[in-house]
Structure formats: C-alpha cells, structure tokens
Amino acid sequence: MKVTIRDVAREAGVSVATVSRVLNNSGPVHELTRDRVRQIARLLRYSPSPAARTLITSTTQTIGVLLPNLYGEFFSEVIRGIDQAAQRSGFHLLVSSSHADRSELETALRAMRGRVDGLIVMIPDIDAEALLENLPARLPIVLVSAVLESHPFPSLTIDNYEGAYRLTRHLIERGHSAVAMIKGSERNQEAGERLRGYRAALRDAELPHDPKLEIAGDFTEAAGDRAVAEILALEPRPSAIFAANDAMAIGALSVLREAGVRVPEEMAVAGFDDIPIARYISPPLTTVRVGISALGERATQKLLRGISEAGSGQTPTSEVLRPELVIRRSCGARRV
Amino acid sequence: MKVTIRDVAREAGVSVATVSRVLNNSGPVHELTRDRVRQIARLLRYSPSPAARTLITSTTQTIGVLLPNLYGEFFSEVIRGIDQAAQRSGFHLLVSSSHADRSELETALRAMRGRVDGLIVMIPDIDAEALLENLPARLPIVLVSAVLESHPFPSLTIDNYEGAYRLTRHLIERGHSAVAMIKGSERNQEAGERLRGYRAALRDAELPHDPKLEIAGDFTEAAGDRAVAEILALEPRPSAIFAANDAMAIGALSVLREAGVRVPEEMAVAGFDDIPIARYISPPLTTVRVGISALGERATQKLLRGISEAGSGQTPTSEVLRPELVIRRSCGARRV
DNA sequence: TTGTAGGCGTTATCAG
DNA sequence: CTGATAACGCCTACAA
C-alpha cells in the first residue's frame, strides 16, 4: 500500500542504506547504482516519510507562525512574505492564529512543540512576556513587532516612533494645529510607540498636549468609526486625524463621508502601515509604509539563519526597519 | 535533554506502556497509577513527540491548505475560517500558497505528502484537473471554489451564477440598460460562472448582448483600474459597472473618483464577495455576500468528516452555498 | 562503494 | 490492571 525505502531497495537490488545515500546525496554511490535507484524511486513514486525522517534527524523543515488573529489585510501580507521566503528555502508553514488570552497562546505554543524547527511570533500585546516562558527550550525564534525587555530574543520591528513622529510633523507643517489621534490597542507595544511619536511631534512643534485629542481604538475599522464620532463632537474641532493604523483610518474615512465632512478639505486623515488597499480608497490614504510582506520575509530569513546556526551561540540581534512616509491625498497634500 | 516517555515511565516506576495508556486514555489503568503518571509527566514537562506518534498511527492532526496566492482580504478570510474550525477540532494548519504554474502546484502537493491528514484545495484555475492526479492516493480532500468534471471530489462552492444573475438584475431594475462587466481571470471557473449569470440577466431582461461591455480583468485592484479606463471611453458610456470581485470594484471606484465621475449618480458600481472592507469604502460597496470565512469553516468541517470516515466509502458530495445580495450605496439604491 | 544493524519515541499486541 | 516487545520508516555509524 505505502511504498517505503525498503521497496525501493528491494526493487533496485541494493540495501536501504544505499537508497538513503542516493536520495540524500550523502556518502559515495556508484554512478550506475545511483541512476538505477533514482529511476526505481521515481517509478514507484516513492516519497520519504517526513515523520520517520523527523524522528531521526529531529528536524521538520517547518516553521511555525503565531499570530494574534487573521483579520484584515495586514496579517495576510505578513504571511505572504513569510511564505515566500520559507518556500524559497524549502520550508513549510504551520500557521496558528487567534490567541486572545494567555491560555490559548500557551496551548498553541505547546502544539508547535516538535512540529517546527523555529517560530515566528507576532504577539504585540505585552503579556507575551510571561507566555514565552512556555516555549520549548532552544527553539529558534524571532519576535516580530514586539521586543521583550526581559529576554533578549532576536526581534524585528519597525520604527513606530519615528514613523508616527514624521507623519504627525508632516500634518503640522501643513498647517494643522489640532491633530487628533486614534490610538491602537491599549497594551500593544506598537500602539504605544506610535502614540509616543505623535506626542513628541506635537511637543517639538510647541503645540499643547490635549488628552481629549487622543481617542481610544483597537486597530479595527469599527474602532475608527466610533472614534470619529467623538472627534466630530470636539470643540473646537480638530482639522486632522492620525489613525494608528490604516484599518482605523479607513473606518474613519467611511464615517466622515457619511457625516458629509469633506476629506481632506475639512478634515485631513492619515494612517499607518500602508496596507495594499490604502492607495485605492477614496481619497487615497496618506500613511506610513511598513513594507508588510518584506517584514515577513526578513523575519523568515532571520529565523532560518537562527535555525542553521543553532547552538553556535550567536547573540540575538534586534533589527529595526525604517518606515517611509507615503503622502497621498487624504491629508491634503498637493502632490500625489 | 529531551524528555521522553521512558523518562516518565522510569520516574513513575511503571512501564512505558502504562504511561502511554494514561496519556491517551486507552486501556484501563489503576487510578492511583494514573494520577502519579500524570503528575510526573507534568513535572517533567513531558510532551509526546508528534513525529513518533505519526510514524505509528499514521495520522498527523494537521490539515493542509493549498491556495493560489495570499493577496488581498479574500484568502485571509478563508484561512481565518479554516483556522477556527481546525483549531476547534485540535487540528493544525499547514499552509502553502502561490502556485502559479503547474509544476509549483505539483511540488506543493508532494510536500504535503505524509504531513497532513487531509487537504483543502482552492485552485480555481481549471488546470487543477490534471494536477490532482499527483495527489497522494486516498488522501481526503475538499475542493473549494472549483469542481472537477472528471473526478467526483467532495467540493464546496458558492452559486456564482445565481449571485451574478441577481446582482445584474438588480442593476437593470434600477434603470441601468447598459451594464458593463469587469471579468475575472480567464481560466477561472468562478469568473466564468459570474459572467454567465451576468449574461443571463441581460438576456432575460431582453437587453442586447454587447461584447464591448465585457472588459477583461484578473481579480486585482489594478485590473479594476485599467478596466475603467476602457469603460469610460465607451460610446455610449454605460451607466453601471459590475466587477467580478470586490477588489476590482474598489480599483474601479478609485479611478472613477480620479476621473471625476460621481458614484453612484453618474456610474453605479457593484462587486462580488463582500470582503470585510467593502462596507467601509466610499461609497459603501454593493456586492454579493459570500460569507468567506464561513466558506472556510464549512470546508474544514467537510474535510474533517471525510478524514474520520476515511475508508467507509462515503460518496463525495458537492455543496453549493447560496450567496446573498448586499445592497449598499455604490449602486445608487435608496436603502442602505 | 556497499551492506548490516541499532535506534529515534510512540503505540499496540500480546502475555502475564 | 500491567509489562515486554514488536513494529512504524528512516538515517548513520561501523564493517566489509
């Protein structure tokens, strides 16, 4: 029923060891023997059992991806990048998402044990801290969009502070003296950094810091919706909105349009991430480009390096990617 | 270094067989023994090797997902649905995407061999036909968004014809006598069905069939962009556009806005899929709701059923989901 | 260059 | 109820 290495060996008139050597290019094999083995293998449609191979080599050729959820274009872009890089190196992808609370994450972590050679973890919420204690020892790992103070894991982040600072400054330079911010999730590191950048830009421009201008949000379109209602009720009304991500900016645009507030004439709007759709909405969204799929690719490369160097005691490095301002029309800039 | 079942057995003063029985609830074990074993296992942080288990049970607790690509919100929604259903049943997800040509798909198929208990395949392009011949024998599988005439695989599709028909009819009923269609990819089954539904609605309304109104597309925003340029050049200009998916509709809206064509006053626009963002763009997009993540969930349930019944020779069934019209403002309807 | 045989960590089949 | 022990399919010294 299932064709094993023994079948190939028997059929080719050699030992299993030889077949193994041929198929893995390990050890020397006579050329004729090799050709014959290969041919038989193909003929029999033999394909080695990954499980058996894993059992003995303790390697799975698989990398695990832990995501908080799969909602929206952001995470699918990340996965796309990861998948590309992984595929290039012959690695497979074990994806696990929706880890709302701690116990779910612990379960997921446990589930990865023995199934992957390394892990890409995107858990921006700070309780990652404690959770990573449940992670299998010596498993190579790369943190994306989060750094842990307590443990020096290799990590990949973008410079959220810088991006937010520059975007806010851009708005200010365009004459907006009251810029509202729709914040990201409360315990999210990236959200915190973006808020910090926003505040710093205001301060450096010697604009007053008004807590009323900082509206709560959670990175969903619906949150953008709700936030706008609050903002429009503000007195005096701000003339610009900086949403901590594009999804919220899009939600905001939607409500502004309903309310008959013209963008950008009466209200400038900007987001963060530059998800692919940002350029297609109306008006095209000014935002901060993260290079989302590139982020996934870089993370994967970093992880693969970590996997191949496992044990050679490299110091884990933290890379910070520089984001780029993308000025489109939603902020009222002249140039597209 | 790595704690195995033997370690637990030794520490608990029993045989590995007993430990195995305890951990799998197979066979009878004295209560005291069981408790002790469990405790030791927890203490030692023992976790069974999936590979070893797979080797003997020939089951992986993993389902494979084959996608054409990961671009846009559609596929991430599908994965979300799959992930939810799989997670509920304790299954893991091996994801593989970007299968442009045949050889890539064959590689991916081979890679899944021995790593998964079943496969969800979303390859709408019709050359799936030949490709499925490379698929491991007796591997449970569910086709999504595609049916193969030649092989009676279990499949899950939505009624693309019906959805397109009803949407087109709705546009006609609103007074549009010239409705342009932006078509999907050439060899895509769903695209074909949607086109068929569009044509049938025109015919039933006794409107002339004008090939010029059928513009080529490929399901990307950029294609929507390009198509609109063609449509605007048409003489006489149609008053409505039906894009074969939401992404193209969004691309179309973007260009219409650039061109100063008001939607829906001067041009009605509608899409297909109801991706989550459709309700948030301006104007909110009239479309056909597919229930994308539900599609993923259903597919997974179907597959899991197939896995557990494997060998009991069930006849593969084809389910067809009925889509639902979602009237929003982009088509000029009064009601939101 | 090739073959033999041990072992990877589990589960499952027998006896006790 | 419990314990040996034989698979599962493969890789890899070690011998020849």
* For residues B244-263, average pLDDT: 95
| Under 8 Å between Cβ of B141 and B118 | yes
pLDDT tens readout for residues A3-32: 999 999 999 999 999 999 999 998 889 999
Which of A121-130, B65-74, B93-102, B112-121 is predicted with the least confidence, judged by mean pLDDT? A121-130
Residue A150 has pLDDT above 90, yes or no: no
Per-residue pLDDT for A335 more than 50? no
**pLDDT reported for residue B12:** 94
Q: Is the pTM of this model over 0.85?
A: yes
What is the C-alpha separation between A73 and A85, in angstroms, rounded? 19
Paired with A118 in beta bridges are: A63
HEC readout, A100-144: CCHHHHHHHHHHHCCCCCEEEECCCECCHHHHHHHCCCCCCEEEE
**Confidence category of residue A131, pLDDT binned at 50, 70, 90:** low
Q: Is A276 on the interface with B (CB under 8 A)?
A: yes
Residue with tokens 């999936």: B50
Tell me, what amino acid is at B82? Answer: I
Give me the percent of chain B exceeding a pLDDT of 70: 95
A215, amino acid identity: I
Contact B275, B296 (CB under 8 A): no
Provide the pLDDT for residue A336: 36
Of A100 and A177, more confident = A177
Interatomic separation, CA of residue B94 and C1' of nucleotide C4, rounded (Å) = 37
Can you point out the beta strands (E) in chain A?
62-66, 92-96, 118-121, 141-144, 155-158, 179-182, 214-215, 240-243, 268-270, 287-289, 318-321, 324-326
Q: Do the bridges between strand B92-96 and strand A92-96 make them parallel or antiparallel, or are there none, so unpaired? A: antiparallel
pLDDT at A100 over 90: no
Q: Of all residues in chain A, what percent carry a pLDDT higher than 90?
A: 78
Which pLDDT does position B1 carry in this prediction? 65
> Is B47's CB within 8 Å of A110's CB?
yes
Residue B308 contacts A, CB cutoff 8 Å = no
> Is the per-residue pLDDT at B27 higher than 70?
yes
B51 touches strand D (CB under 7 A): no
Q: Which residues contact A203 (CB under 8 A, 6 or more apart)?
A: A209
Report the interhelical angle of B160-173 vs B189-204 (nearest 10°). 40
Report d(CA B291, CA B275) in Å as an integer. 8
pLDDT in tens, A229-286: 999 999 899 999 999 999 999 999 999 998 999 999 999 999 999 999 999 998 999 9
pLDDT band of residue B138 (cuts 50, 70, 90) is: confident
Kindly state the average pLDDT of the residues B261-280: 96
Beta carbons of A257 and B54 less than 8 Å apart: no
Q: What is the pLDDT of residues B168-210, one digit of tens each?
A: 999 999 999 999 999 999 888 999 999 999 999 999 999 998 9
pLDDT score of B335 more than 60: no
Give Cα separations from A258 to A17, A141, A217, A219, B329 (angstroms).
72, 45, 20, 20, 11
Task: Compute the average pLDDT of residues B90-111.
Answer: 87
Lowest mean pLDDT among A72-86, A144-158, B17-31: A144-158
- Three-state DSSP class for A261? coil
pLDDT at A88 (0 to 100): 93
Check residue A153 and give its pLDDT.
87
Q: Tell me the pLDDT of chain B averaged across its residues.
A: 92
Task: Give residue A130's pLDDT.
Answer: 64
Burial A299-316 (b: 16+ CB within 10 A, else e): bbbbbbbbbeeeeeeeee
How far is residue B318's CA from residue B144's CA, in Å, rounded to a whole number?
10
Confidence of residue A309 (pLDDT cuts 50, 70, 90): confident
- Whether A15 CB is under 7 Å from strand C: yes
Q: What is the pLDDT of residues B41-97, one digit of tens each?
A: 999 999 999 999 999 999 999 999 999 889 989 999 999 999 999 999 999 999 998
Chain A contact for B209 (CB, 8 A cutoff): no
3-state helix, strand, coil in chain A (%, to 5): 45, 15, 40
pLDDT score at B161: 98
**pLDDT value at B266 more than 60:** yes
Beta carbons within 8 Å of B259's beta carbon, 6+ residues apart: B228, B232
B23 C-beta less than 7 Å away from strand C: yes
Q: Which residues pair with B240 in a beta bridge?
A: B179, B268
**Which of A5, A63, A95 is most worth mutating to test chain B (most B CB atoms within 10 A of its CB)?**
A95
Within the 45-74 window of chain B, which residues sit less than 8 Å (CB to CB) from chain A? 47-52, 54-55, 60, 62, 69-73
Residues 19-48 of B with CB under 7 A from strand D: 21, 27-31, 33-34
Does residue A257 sit at the B interface (CB-CB below 8 Å)?
yes
Rg from Cα positions in chain A = 26
Q: Over 90: is that where the pLDDT of A124 sits?
A: no
Q: How far from A98 is each of A130, A203, A296, A319, B116, CA to CA, in Å?
A: 18, 37, 18, 26, 21
